[in-house]
Amino acid sequence: MRAVVMGAGSWGTAIAKVLVDAGTDTTMWARRPELAERITHDHTNTDYLPGITLPDGLRATSSVVDAVTGADVVVCAVPSQSLRANLTDWMPHVAAESTFVSLAKGVETSTLMRMSEVISEVSGAPDDRIAVLSGPNLAREIAEGQPAATVIACSDEHRAEELQQAFNTGYFRPYTNTDVVGCEIGGAVKNVIALACGMASGVGFGQNTLATIITRGLAETIRLAVAVGAQIETLAGLAGVGDLVATCSSPLSRNRTFGAHLGQGATMQEAQEATHGQVAEGVKSCSSVRALADKFDVEMPLTDAVHQVCHSGLSVADAVSSLLGRRTKPEIYD
Ligand SMILES: NC(=O)C1=CN([C@@H]2O[C@H](COP(=O)(O)OP(=O)(O)OC[C@H]3O[C@@H](n4cnc5c(N)ncnc54)[C@H](O)[C@@H]3O)[C@@H](O)[C@H]2O)C=CC1
Ligand SMILES: O=C(CO)COP(=O)(O)O
């Protein structure tokens, strides 16, 4: 199997390292030729993963044709809102029988599509050749070789098992699942909930508040996921609660960090600058997740509050008051 990782940000680079460490022949595509040069010759990506030495066998190129020619597996490692445009550029060079693996955690704002749906529409590939990789996988920890697990979901169980072998190393352990919808909704919504946790910690609230947001965040994630067609068990797994806990708790999370800046009183512009141009997917996906919830008539108060802070000028303090002022109710998922 030959893999190409399209995108040389922090997760694309870390997952390319995983693939090489797993013994899979892997090439990376970077937009900037100088970055591709550094990955190939210096074995570093100092812009995104400073201090990490990449494997000698990892080669990068800034030529899409060079990157995708001969690849059986195309790993999509660009931000959600740019996947459609990037994939449209890549498709003329992608082999007809390629398998796609989506790493992006978001919902397209213009269409409310999940990433596997975008891949399906743009590529025309059948669902059995579209997989999703999602779990508690902060890029830097994986690049350091710290142990972690993930989920590779594909409607074709056999395809998921083949990919499981391609990504399996001594430190990175993929599980398979056929619930693509559950993995994608878990991955997209946890970024929004991590923004809320960041806001709370930026204000100075402690662990009780964080645990409350994580738990009630899981409740609204489950409500949406089940309405869209997911299996509830997936949200109890690595791509659900696993990723939610990792992202909401870690200072490495860009979403949590972005929220913390807002909680400390920064403007959206200041929070953007403080995350050094790296994508905090929840900032855009809070709008599409909220719209998806409206479409399926699902209540998502935390997502709604994050959307209002990010896009309607609501202060974090007013968001907290309005959440606590909601009518009292039993603790159930629906
Ligand atoms: N960083 C992490 O720890 C993890 C990230 N993810 C997800 O993986 C996806 C990619 O994330 P990262 O690699 O971390 O992002 P990043 O912000 O570190 O890098 C994004 C990469 O995509 C490229 N790119 C191509 N077209 C772009 C465009 N139009 N706009 C912006 N960038 C463009 C950039 O040049 C860069 O190489 C996101 O959906 C993220 O949620 C998932 C798991 C872990
Ligand atoms: O998806 C992630 C961990 O699984 C990374 O989260 P951030 O994008 O918030 O850094």
- Mean pLDDT value across the chain: 97
Q: Is 134 helix (H, G, I), strand (E, B) or coil?
A: strand
Instruction: Say what the pLDDT of residue 80 is.
Output: 98
The predicted pLDDT at position 275 comes to 83
pTM above the 0.90 mark? Answer: yes
pLDDT digits (tens, 9 = 90+) for 229-253: 999 999 999 999 999 999 999 999 9
With a cut of 90, say whether residue 189 has pLDDT above it: yes
CA distance 173 to 62: 30
Rounded percentage of the chain residues whose pLDDT exceeds 90: 96
- The pLDDT assigned to 333 comes to 60
- Give the pLDDT confidence of 287-334 residue by residue, as tens digits: 999 999 999 999 999 999 999 999 999 999 999 998 998 999 999 766
- In the annotated binding site, the residues are 7-12, 31-32, 48, 105, 135, 139, 190, 243, 253-255, 279, 281
* 136 CA closest ligand 2 atom index: 4
How do strand 130-134 and strand 148-154 relate by DSSP bridges? Answer: antiparallel
Nearest Cα to Cα of residue 282 among 198, 192, 218: 192
Counting atoms of ligand 2 from 1, which one is nearest the CA of 255?
Answer: 9
Report the range of poorest mean pLDDT among 113-122, 124-133, 253-262, 275-284: 275-284
Non-local CB neighbours of 147 within 8 Å, separated by 6+ positions: 171, 172, 173
Which atom of ligand 1 lies nearest, measured to the CA of 8? 37
Whole-number Å distance between alpha carbons of 312 and 300: 17
Residue that wins the pLDDT comparison between 273 and 75: 75
Which residues are known to be catalytic? 190
Residue 137: the pLDDT is 98
The pLDDT value recorded for residue 233 is 98
Question: Which domains occur in the chain, in start order?
Answer: 2-178 (3.40.50.720), 182-325 (1.10.1040.10)
- DSSP secondary structure of 264-287: TT--HHHHHHHTTT---THHHHHH
Whether 79 is in the pocket of ligand 1, judged by its Cβ within 6 Å, is yes
Average pLDDT over residues 109-137: 98
Taking the centre of ligand 2 as the mean of its atom positions, its distance from the CA of residue 10, in whole angstroms, is 10
Using most ligand atoms within 8 A of CB, pick from 10, 15, 81, 105 the residue to mutate for ligand 2.
105
Q: Cα(171)–Cα(145) distance, rounded to whole angstroms? A: 6
How far apart are the C-alpha atoms of 103 and 105, rounded to whole Å? 7
Query: What's the Cα-to-Cα distance from 327 to each of 175, 176, 208, 293, 334, rounded to whole Å?
Result: 40, 40, 20, 19, 15
Burial 84-113 (b: 16+ CB within 10 A, else e): bebbeebbeebeeebbbbbbbbbbbbeeeb
- Taking only the tens place, the pLDDT of each residue in 142-166 is 999 999 999 999 999 999 999 999 9
The whole-angstrom separation of Cα 287 and Cα 157 is 32
Which ligand 2 atom is the nearest neighbour of the CA of 187? 1
What is d(CA 19, CA 217) in angstroms, rounded to the nearest whole number?
32
pLDDT tens, residue by residue, 28-50: 999 999 999 999 999 999 999 99
Determine the residue type at 51.
G
Residue 277 confidence class, pLDDT cut points 50, 70, 90: confident
**Contact of 101 with 133, CB cutoff 8 Å:** yes
Give me ligand 2 centre to Cα 134, in Å: 10
Q: Whose CA is nearest to atom 8 of ligand 2?
A: 254
Query: Which residues of the chain form beta strands (DSSP E)?
Result: 2-6, 25-29, 59-61, 73-76, 99-102, 130-134, 148-154, 172-177
In which band, very low, low, confident or very high, does the pLDDT at 276 lie, cut at 50, 70 and 90? confident
Three-state SS for 69? coil
Q: What integer is the mean pLDDT of 67-72?
A: 96
User: pLDDT confidence of 8, banded at 50, 70, 90?
Assistant: very high
CA of 151 to the centre of ligand 2 (A): 15
- Give per-residue pLDDT as tens, 20-30: 999 999 999 99
Q: Which of 4, 11, 15, 18 to mutate for ligand 1's pocket (most ligand atoms within 8 Å of CB)?
A: 11
User: Which string of b and e fits 238-251 if b means at least 16 CB within 10 Å?
Assistant: bbbbbbbbbbbbbe
Map tokens 């949200």 to a residue: 235
